[in-house]
Amino acid sequence: MPPLGPILPFDIKGAHLLHELVPYIVATPANLAMLNRSPFGLPTPVAHIINPLRLESEIFLDLLHKLDGLTFGPEGMPMPKWVFYDCSELPGAIYGLARPAATVWPKVAELFAIPSDYTGLVPVSMYVAIPMPQPGVWFGHNLSSLAPVFRHLDLLPDLDLAGLGSLTKGLALKCFGVKQFWGATQWQSKALYIHAKFGPLALQTAYTPAHSEHETLTYGFACTDQSLRASMGDPTITLPRPEVDEWIDGRDVARLQSLQRQIEMGEEFCIPCPPRPLSPGSDGGMAVPIARTTAAST
């Protein structure tokens, strides 16, 4: 069989995934009207649009909740179902990639405990965001990819899911029409490798007692087609990035607190590029780059 051609109009890291998986959107009809159902020309079939206000959506939404538990459970932050409804499905939108139950891999069907008569979609990734009051400004609430679970359990050794998380977030932000993005993540989260692909991340907080995890950073970036394509691995895009001034050990709470005080004094910083492991080959802590973008006026 000849190789399958690209589905998006530009090259991406996880191009093959779009031959294995199909897109879906969860949104109320009112919110759906504001979304782009064909981000970068990739259409979302009507049958893959899930209305959280309808009984028929129950099993798919339960599977999504399981996906959240499988991915965020080990991070200690699984979402209660009511938070999923109140803070995701109703006010915001969810975009992700899935596999029809009829062709889902048996090991994944087992992992999700899919009812034998279910014929809908089985989600393998999701991105959730919530609109903020200013037009085009969104807050990223949740990114989940089953890729690490597949790897950890050695579920499908022949299927390379590398790039699934980045692809999902990039397509989702295009679907939602995001112009300015805000997010919050932990200094030790591997997701920082993904977030930094969108360009330099402007730091709003470095130490965040308002969050249940104080070692959380709040970050933002302007969302353009260039930044989205870069996030998905389009090799033709190079985003401008400031020089690194300092590498911070994400576990160094005293440094995070002093950085927070500097931000509150008016100094401005960004995370200019992706982190790196603290020691070569380690799967432990991460060193996170910091660049000063302007000095506080005295």
Ligand X SMILES: CC(C)(COP(=O)(O)OP(=O)(O)OC[C@H]1O[C@@H](n2cnc3c(N)ncnc32)[C@H](O)[C@@H]1OP(=O)(O)O)[C@@H](O)C(=O)NCCC(=O)NCCS
- Asked if 75 is part of the footprint of ligand X (rule: CB under 6 A), the reply reads yes
**Which is nearer to ligand X, 94 or 191 (by Cβ)?**
191
Residue 41 backbone class (left: φ over 0; alpha: ψ -120 to 50; beta: rest): left
The answer to whether 93 and 35 are in contact (CB under 8 A) is yes
Interface residue with ligand X among 59, 62, 72, 214 (CB under 6 A) is 72
**Which is nearer to ligand X, 247 or 292 (by Cβ)?**
247
The answer to whether 274 and 193 are in contact (CB under 8 A) is yes
**Which is nearer to ligand X, 89 or 266 (by Cβ)?**
89
**Which is nearer to ligand X, 72 or 85 (by Cβ)?**
72
Two tokens, residue 249: 């050990």
Two tokens, residue 27: 């949104």
Query: Amino acid identity of 79?
Result: M
- Asked if 8 is part of the footprint of ligand X (rule: CB under 6 A), the reply reads no
Cβ 173 to ligand X shortest distance, Å: 14
Q: Which residue is nearest to ligand X (CB)?
A: 165
Interface residue with ligand X among 78, 100, 136, 148 (CB under 6 A) is 148
The answer to whether 4 and 19 are in contact (CB under 8 A) is yes
Q: Smallest Cα–Cα separation from 166: which of 276, 5, 9, 14?
A: 14
Pairing of strands 180-186, 137-145: parallel
Residues between 173 and 192 that touch ligand X (CB under 6 A):
185, 189-191
CA distances from 32 to 35, 149, 218, 286 (A): 5, 30, 27, 38
Residues between 191 and 210 that touch ligand X (CB under 6 A):
191, 193-194
- Asked if 99 is part of the footprint of ligand X (rule: CB under 6 A), the reply reads no
Interface residue with ligand X among 44, 166, 216, 218 (CB under 6 A) is 166
Residue with tokens 């031959």: 19
- Asked if 216 is part of the footprint of ligand X (rule: CB under 6 A), the reply reads no
Give the three-state DSSP class for 96: strand
Rounded Cα gap, residues 69 and 79, in angstroms: 7
**Which is nearer to ligand X, 115 or 284 (by Cβ)?**
284
| Stretch of 57-65, 93-101, 158-166, 215-223 contacting ligand X, by CB under 6 A | 158-166
**Which is nearer to ligand X, 2 or 281 (by Cβ)?**
281
Q: How many CA atoms lie within 13 A of 287 on its CB side?
A: 12
Cβ 295 to ligand X shortest distance, Å: 29
| Stretch of 71-79, 83-91, 114-122, 172-180 contacting ligand X, by CB under 6 A | 71-79
Rounded Cα gap, residues 162 and 223, in angstroms: 23
* Binding-site ranges for ligand X (CB under 6 A): 13, 71-72, 75, 143-145, 147-148, 161-166, 185, 189-191, 193-194, 283
